[in-house]
Amino acid sequence: MSNAVDRPLVVVVEDDDTIGRLLERALRSNGYRAQWYPTGTAGLAGARRDRADVVLLDLGLPDLDGTELARRLRSELPDLLLVILTARSDEIDIVSGLDAGADDYLVKPFSLTVLLARIRAHLRRSPTPATTGMIALGDLTIDTAARRCTIAGDDLILRTKEYELLETLALNAGSAISRDDLMAKVWDINWFGSTKTLDVTIASLRHRLSSRAAVPTITTLRGHGYRLDPPDQEAC
């Protein structure tokens, strides 16, 4: 058995006893530390106290509004992987949950295998906590844990691929990145098709970053790829 503290802690906040116990047991038998809480208040306290790595959050709780709880968890534990579990297939609930800072969602009834696969994939992908959580380039900030961008404090709403492209460029700000590397990182490791989608996404990202104050610019490197240049006042 590996050191218990090395294993990710998954907090389950779910008022349905059957689902709560099932998830707790399944997570433990799949190598996680897991703790189930039947109320939002207890879940928030537990996640905060034990510094949860992952929270599986049921949106329909008896004591607290699930979306509000998602927001509080996200602000108090910025590196948290937050997955919403909802019986409501209503798009609006899912959207408000994601807006509140959730990384992913599953609509009940969901497959345990899919849930475990999603957690594994997210944990693999997430950057080293704390040190790489925030990227600041002039007025642009990128919170990689929350996948949220702001310009001078205002939210910058990006499509999934625009965000991933910007994050990849920003993590390497000032350095050239080849088209192949960008395609592999943002789209698919086995990409064989046209890379026009890259140019289209770059163009729309430039558009979203344009006409704003101190934001980085995307420089085209002909025959190679792209480079994100920090705004002038950041240059050294």
Which residues of this protein are in contact with Ca ion, per CB under 5 A? Answer: 15, 58, 60
Q: Where are the beta strands (DSSP E) in 28-114?
A: 33-37, 54-58, 81-86, 104-107
Chain residue at closest Cβ approach to Ca ion: 60
- Closer CB to Ca ion, residue 72 or residue 179? 72
Question: How do strand 148-151 and strand 154-156 relate by DSSP bridges?
Answer: antiparallel
Min CB(62)–Ca ion separation in Å? 8
- Closer CB to Ca ion, residue 40 or residue 216? 40
Q: Write out the two tokens for 53.
A: 């790595």
Q: Write out the two tokens for 228.
A: 């994100």
Min CB(69)–Ca ion separation in Å? 12
Sheet containing 154-156, strands listed edge to edge, beginning at the edge strand earlier in sequence: 134-137, 140-143, 148-151, 154-156
Min CB(109)–Ca ion separation in Å? 13
- Closer CB to Ca ion, residue 58 or residue 139? 58
Min CB(59)–Ca ion separation in Å? 7
- Closer CB to Ca ion, residue 36 or residue 163? 36
